[in-house]
Amino acid sequence: MDGRQENGYLKIKEVSQLLGVSPHTVRYWEKEFSDYVNPKRTSAGHRLYDDHQIRQLLEIKHLLKDELYSISGAKNKLKL
């Protein structure tokens, strides 16, 4: 089992492990790329990420870490 909740969502810890970054980094990217990453919240305020959000985060990671885009440059690239 990949840690998914019954509803198909992953928690931030699981997403951070999948991406190979810290939960802090996921939260930072969520803040910086709020037009692209906006996870669902539980009643307790915990973040839940669906497949689309995870794909967006993977693309953000690729742009920032592999392609060496700045935050601003990555935002512009995602707009295309």
End-to-end CA distance of the chain: 35
Encode pLDDT of 29-69 as tens digits.
999 999 999 999 999 999 999 999 999 999 999 999 999 99
The whole-model pTM stands at: 0.90
* Domains of the chain in sequence order: 10-79 (1.10.1660.10)
Quick check: 5 pLDDT over 70? Answer: no
* CA separation, residue 76 to residues 28, 65, 71 (Å): 18, 16, 9
